[in-house]
Structure 1
Amino acid sequence: MENPIEKRLEEGLGTGSQLVVEEDNNKRSTSHQGKKDEVGIHPSNENEENNVVISDQPEELKEEQPQKKQKTKRVATLDAFRGLTIVLMILVDDAGGAYSRIDHSPWNGCTLADFVMPFFLFIVGVAIALALKKILKVNSAIRKIILRTLKLLFWGIILQGGYSHAPDVLSYGVDMKQIRWCGILQRIALVYFVVAIIETLTTKLRPTVLKPGSFSIFTAYKWQWFGGFVAFVIYMVTTFTLYVPDWSFVVHHEHGSEKYTVKCGMRGHFGPACNAVGYVDRQVWGINHLYSQPVWSRLKACTFSSPDSGPFRKDAPSWCHGPFEPEGLLSTISAILSGTIGIHYGHVLIHFKEHAERLKHWVSMALVLLIVAVILHFTDAIPINKQLYSFSYVCFTAGAAGIVFSGFYILIDVWGLRTPFLFLEWIGMNAMLVFVMAAQGIFAAFINGWYYKNPDNNLVNWIQQHVFNDVWKSERVGTLLYVIFAEITFWSVVAGILHKLGIYWKL
């Protein structure tokens, strides 16, 4: 017989996950007993044996009724939130070049694109709380966690390490001297591993009923918060105390190569050139294995085209030409906090059953995080910075994730407006598939492979030029409409069809 925890873990976390909330038929996991409340859970069309039941009947009624086959229940808000994150990624990746205001901030600040990564990590945390709600065999759960982490690392290196040149270049392969070890899936994998391992190893310390008090949910899961605090301390101590020396790099171009030297010799710097985040990655991974086109190249110090990309100024500082890893090691340690906050929201979903209770806790915490972030940023204590994954950035984006998640909860689960968000649910149920095929351009590369006479003569370019750009007489508007209709709408339909067929890509 299959292990229940293995089945839940097989349904996945993070990208492409299928999430269910399980309640024991013989024991309530909340202090609010005897209330028939199925808040936040919706029936799924998937196979019933892959899911579990929510039972809110009093114990005496349960004993009188015969055991029935478990029914499917699903967290619709979670799927919709994950789908929204994927949609945002497609939008900012493919339309950000035309609209730089939605692209990643060149350094300090927060744009639409800067919400994508922390939203992913937030939803990974929520998913972990639900999938690992009950663990019967700890060793089995740990094996599953390690296996899923390795899968995410593998796909991350394949898709963003340089091996895949999709969608425009019809070739593959990477020089191992230049391979990029870090990326989106790699960061998700490491955050997932740390947060899920802590949740698993503390399974015997979890309460089934919360003690009275507003902060009982925090004390009940103190080890999860302790893990986040350790990550915070490591990041902050390293950021403010690590000495960053001068560093050099070589840029290769068609006319030869040129060596640059960046003068540093300082500590606690939050600028592009001499921060501890970049120094740690240069020492751990090697400068040739970092991202070679960092967003700081769009700063005013580097180009007159700022905030758009453009040729470098003649007086541009040397660091403008250098590499920087936006998903590096030290910043990923800070990103563990995003997953920790997410898993807390999942714990609230498990323990509190009333709409008002959940929303009160979620919104109040989100507002506190936003206030802390704003104070830190505008006092110049710690600027909001996605590239450094600063503490103010963690607070600001986690607070925003909490507000958006609560808003979805109100619309979908309180007011019952599920239909307008079905396309987000469909994408959220098959997030890994849409991420790989759309956000990473694998499907577009496949279509581009069928060209006429030269690689630029392909169906994707023809549609974008003749159906969108020429009709609207604007490349910017045409690009935006192409992304909305030929990518987001197209993959919404595909995800919906796959959902009806019960087909999902799970790691």
Structure 2
Amino acid sequence: MVEQKNTITRLLSLDVFRGLTIAIMILVNSPGNQVAYSWLEHSSWNGCTLADLVFPFFIVIVGMSSVLALTNLKIKGASNKQLVGKIINRSVYLFILGLLLNSLPNHFDFSHLRILGVLQRIAICYFFSSILFLTTTIKTQKVIITVLLIGYWILISFFSPNQISIDHNLVSYFDQWLLSAHHLYRPMFDPEGLLSTLPAIASALFGNLLGFVLVSSRTKQQQLQWLISSGLILALLGFVWSLASPFNKFLWSSSYVLWTTGLAFLVFACCFTLIEIKHRLPWSKPFALFGRHALLVYILHVLFLKIQAIILVHNTQGELINLRLYITDLLFNRFSPENASFCYAAGYTLFWLFVLKFIPKKKLKFDNKARAAYQGQNPIHKKTDFEQ
């Protein structure tokens, strides 16, 4: 067994990629009014905007991070039984946090509580990608990805009428049947529904594959080449598939999985190049801060948005509006509605960056020495498994 001093050091480029994703998520989630630039809004149904990239990027990051974390624990001597326990605990913890967020501000009314959501989907994807990482080879995970994407495409394309309609699709039917309309985001549909979580698991498994690359014996240049080539191939395949099955975040369509995963690989390749290869670090500090506290800042920014929504204030015209609209009107009333909305969102994002600066820092070593710990001694998979 590899000694503890050889365990994985934290990968700064991954923290930065996670932080960049979280920063954009806050920006997208926090418009100052009902008017926002189209590229900051989710597609109404089919399509893929900047806003639609955030969640799949984070799901890919979940797979990457779990591979690094679990392999590190394995090197330290943790057994598979211990790791499975940690995976279950974290998955349940994330799912319950999601339920608690959904219960606010209406208290915990289970009869109308939304069961699923962002953290719940992350919990499910984390659970399955982590368990599969511990129990299967890379080749098997590639097969599972293929089966999930093709099988899901067949399901939504050929087993429901009007399969790409927001009101009539198999995903909506399934969630209504399983959970009932009272437990969905909308009466007819939930964008983080259970059936559409199947292809999201494929997104996390793609993150697993990237995690394997990062802990392999490949050089940084070889890792970068894999990132770029895989990203381009996946994005191209996703684009071609979209001609028959459009990009759709709500359904998490198979073409959307390939397209967003390809783009995630390419964006991470940029972070990897600048930080791990060229060592250009100053620009990365704000994003690294977001990345190290991703779960905390996600929960806090959602809570404060909910609080602002229920606090009502009279504006200068005597109208009763919520606190977010009041702040936007007070600070940015000379701007166009789109610019005012963007300025509030940007300010809200910077506010959380300021808050995070006061969180005590852990002494973390940021370099990619993982390779030394794994060469010929990967405790979970043999090197030959990775090359398959």
TM-score by length of 2: 0.83
Alignment of 1:33-432 (within 5 A): 53-54=5-6, 73-95=9-31, 97-101=34-38, 102-133=40-71, 135=74, 136-160=78-102, 163-165=103-105, 172-202=106-136, 221-242=138-159, 244=160, 266=161, 269-292=163-186, 323-378=188-243, 381-432=244-295
SS for the counterpart of 1:441 is: helix
Structure 2 counterpart of 1:24, which letter? V
Structure 1 counterpart of 2:239, which letter? V
Change beyond 3 A, Cα 1:53–1:497: farther
Residue 430 (structure 1) shift: 0.7
Whether the 8 Å contact between 1:362 and 1:406 is mirrored in structure 2 is yes
Structure 2 counterpart of 1:269, which letter? Q
SS for the counterpart of 1:375 is: helix
Structure 2 counterpart of 1:231, which letter? L
Structure 2 counterpart of 1:94, which letter? S
Residue 122 (structure 1) shift: 0.4
Residue 434 (structure 1) shift: 0.6
Q: Number of aligned pairs?
A: 356
Tell me the equivalent position of 1:480. 342
* Residues in 2 aligned to 1:412 and 1:395: alpha-carbon distance in whole angstroms: 26
Whether the 8 Å contact between 2:150 and 2:254 is mirrored in structure 1 is no
Whether the 8 Å contact between 2:121 and 2:192 is mirrored in structure 1 is yes
1:141-187 CA distance string (max 9 Å, x none) = 11111111111110111113xx113xxxxxx3254332211100111
Change beyond 3 A, Cα 1:465–1:370: same
* Residues in 2 aligned to 1:233 and 1:443: alpha-carbon distance in whole angstroms: 38
* Residues in 2 aligned to 1:392 and 1:237: alpha-carbon distance in whole angstroms: 12
Whether the 8 Å contact between 2:28 and 2:345 is mirrored in structure 1 is no
Whether the 8 Å contact between 1:224 and 1:340 is mirrored in structure 2 is yes
Tell me the equivalent position of 2:352. 491
Structure 1 counterpart of 2:167, which letter? A
Residue 392 (structure 1) shift: 0.4
Whether the 8 Å contact between 1:444 and 1:460 is mirrored in structure 2 is no
Which of 292, 305, 330 is equivalent to 1:466? 330
Change beyond 3 A, Cα 1:281–1:455: same
* Residues in 2 aligned to 1:140 and 1:402: alpha-carbon distance in whole angstroms: 31
Change beyond 3 A, Cα 1:455–1:350: farther
Residue 457 (structure 1) shift: 8.6
SS for the counterpart of 2:196 is: helix
Whether the 8 Å contact between 1:156 and 1:183 is mirrored in structure 2 is yes
1:243-267 CA distance string (max 9 Å, x none) = x4xxxxxxxxxxxxxxxxxxxxx3x
SS for the counterpart of 2:249 is: coil
CA RMSD of superposed structures (Å): 2.9
Tell me the equivalent position of 2:385. none
Percent identity between the two aligned chains: 31
Bigger-Rg structure (1/2): 1
* Residues in 2 aligned to 1:104 and 1:97: alpha-carbon distance in whole angstroms: 13
* Residues in 1 aligned to 2:293 and 2:155: alpha-carbon distance in whole angstroms: 38
1:308-359 CA distance string (max 9 Å, x none) = xxxxxxxxxxxxxx62111111110011111011111111111144221011
TM-score by length of 1: 0.65
User: 1 or 2 for the larger relative contact order (CA 8 Å, sep ≥6)?
Assistant: 2
Whether the 8 Å contact between 1:156 and 1:184 is mirrored in structure 2 is yes
1:426-457 CA distance string (max 9 Å, x none) = 0111111110111x133772898698999969
Residue 232 (structure 1) shift: 2.8
SS for the counterpart of 2:101 is: helix
**Please, which runs of 5 or more residues in structure 1 have no aligned partner?**
1-22, 26-51, 55-69, 166-171, 203-219, 245-265, 293-321
Whether the 8 Å contact between 1:277 and 1:331 is mirrored in structure 2 is yes
Residue 482 (structure 1) shift: 1.9
Whether the 8 Å contact between 2:289 and 2:356 is mirrored in structure 1 is yes
Whether the 8 Å contact between 2:36 and 2:341 is mirrored in structure 1 is no
Tell me the equivalent position of 2:372. none
* Residues in 1 aligned to 2:177 and 2:71: alpha-carbon distance in whole angstroms: 39
